[in-house]
């Protein structure tokens, strides 16, 4: 019996010739990711057990959620994170340069075939690069930093085949929302989601990242895509380190296969208060939008900014709608400036913010008031996530967010894209 890509990576990391779903293994970690929310408690945990870091070359620390801090305790976390980096000699530290899951691929830290853990649920994002990437807790990270290993139960894998050609108004977000509609928020609990099919090759790198990023919203342990030439060329451009591409065997065993026909997809939104409450945009058109939010580790990349700028070009955002834009990284922000995208946003009346997680988790800048409606390019729309528990959060692609911002109400992006 063959193995899936996830099983092969776990087998390599645990020093075994093969593993099967359900096996309990001890695996060597290739990369550990941390951010300022939990780093202080992790550092205290290391001190309590009297341990140092097993390999500072395999640890990356980012400041992105509290960037800049909006409360005293958040500033304290940033300060303690800085101290951890100094005390432990962390080499790879990216403070205030953007969102972890955007910055790390840009800086060459993410490579196919590796086992990656991070104290952030959207660590699964890096499965887009053919790695097994898993979010863990702070206590688990203390163990990882001290030992360089962690135990896992090898997950079953759900194969998601995406075939057919999608039109130019359909993006990775629409595809993932259609998957969530089928699976629900718990349909892949402690399973791997492996994305495959002819349509994957047509997706941009940014679109693939969105798929892997939101796999956790279906409860998945990890989401993963086999690297093709488009992906390996990207990684080689960013990283000088060697890597091994891993692919699933033809006779690999899957617990379930889900088929998505890309040609049948229309722009979708996740309605309050769950990512799997998915409907066509046509069913919510006309609802007034108080806030539109473009950014996050799900959809704050160049593809997203470009399509939003295309829609907003020559248009003015209604005065009773605020449009917050958070480029995913400083690099993306700089490229958007060079391309004239930022000017387009400012001329339309958008609010440009620094490269950070921003209001995604309700941390700061753009929290919602009582009864307000927000269309977000983020990954979650739970009640109270972005402020008032009476606020309504909808999720959509960057195109849907921009079209709604331009209209001041929920709007099908095809009306602006000539389709």
b/e sequence 218-257, b meaning 16+ C-beta within 10 Å: bbbbbbbbbbeeebbeebeebbeeebeebbbeeebbbeee
User: Is 374 annotated as belonging to a binding site?
Assistant: no
State how far the Cα of 33 lies from the Cα of 195, in Å rounded to an integer: 24
User: Is 357 annotated as belonging to a binding site?
Assistant: yes
DSSP string, 26-52: EEE-SEEEEETTTHHHHHHHHHHHT--
Rg (CA), the chain: 21
What is the 8-class DSSP label of residue 108?
T
- Show Cβ contacts of residue 54 under 8 Å, excluding neighbours closer than 6 positions: 144, 145, 146, 147, 148
Q: At 38, list the tokens.
A: 């939990």
What's the residue count for the chain? 419
Return the sign of the alpha-carbon dihedral for residues 16, 21, 25, 28.
positive
Q: State residue 92 phi and psi, 5-degree precision.
A: -105, 95
User: Is 360 annotated as belonging to a binding site?
Assistant: yes
- Show Cβ contacts of residue 44 under 8 Å, excluding neighbours closer than 6 positions: none
β-bridge pairing 291-294 and 322-325: parallel
Cβ neighbours of 286 (radius 10 Å): 9
At 180 the three-state DSSP class reads helix
Residues at the annotated binding site for [4Fe-4S] cluster? 297, 357, 360
């Amino acid at each position: 019996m063959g193995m899936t890509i996830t099983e092969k990576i776990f087998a390599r990391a645990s020093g075994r010739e093969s593993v099967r779903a359900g096996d309990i293994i001890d695996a060597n970690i290739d990369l550990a990711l941390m951010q300022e929310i939990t780093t202080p408690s992790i550092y205290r945990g290391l001190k309590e057990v009297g341990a140092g870091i097993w390999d500072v070359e395999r640890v990356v620390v980012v400041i992105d959620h509290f960037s800049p801090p909006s409360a005293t305790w958040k500033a304290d976390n940033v300060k303690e994170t800085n101290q951890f980096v100094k005390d432990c000699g962390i080499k790879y530290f990216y403070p205030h340069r953007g969102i972890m899951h955007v910055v790390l691929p840009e800086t060459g830290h993410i490579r196919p075939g590796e086992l990656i853990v991070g104290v952030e649920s959207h660590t699964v994002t890096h499965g887009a690069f053919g790695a097994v990437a898993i979010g863990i807790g702070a206590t688990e990270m203390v163990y990882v930093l001290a030992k360089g290993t962690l135990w896992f139960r090898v997950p079953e894998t759900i194969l998601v085949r995406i075939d057919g050609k999608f039109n130019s108004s359909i993006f990775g977000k629409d595809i993932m929302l259609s998957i969530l509609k089928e699976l629900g928020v718990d349909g892949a609990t402690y399973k791997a989601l492996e994305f495959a099919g002819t349509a994957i090759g047509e997706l941009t790198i940014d679109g693939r990242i969105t798929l892997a990023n939101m796999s956790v919203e279906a409860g998945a342990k990890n989401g993963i895509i086999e690297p093709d030439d488009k992906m390996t060329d990207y990684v080689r451009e960013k990283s000088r380190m060697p890597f091994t591409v891993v692919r699933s065997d033809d006779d690999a065993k899957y617990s379930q296969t889900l088929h998505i026909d890309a040609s049948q997809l229309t722009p979708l939104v996740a309605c309050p208060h769950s990512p799997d409450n998915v409907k066509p945009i046509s069913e919510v058109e006309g609802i007034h939008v108080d806030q539109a939010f473009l950014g996050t580790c799900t959809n704050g990349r160049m593809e997203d900014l470009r399509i939003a700028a295309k829609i907003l070009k020559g248009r003015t955002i209604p005065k009773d709608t605020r449009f917050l834009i958070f480029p995913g990284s400083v690099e993306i922000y700089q490229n958007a400036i060079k391309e004239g995208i930022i000017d387009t946003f400012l001329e339309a009346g958008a609010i440009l913010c620094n490269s950070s997680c921003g209001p995604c988790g309700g941390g700061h800048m753009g929290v919602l008031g009582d009864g307000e409606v927000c269309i977000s390019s983020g990954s979650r729309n739970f009640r109270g996530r972005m402020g008032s528990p009476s606020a309504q959060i909808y999720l959509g692609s960057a195109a849907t967010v921009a079209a709604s911002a331009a209209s001041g109400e929920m709007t099908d992006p095809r009306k602006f894209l000539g389709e």
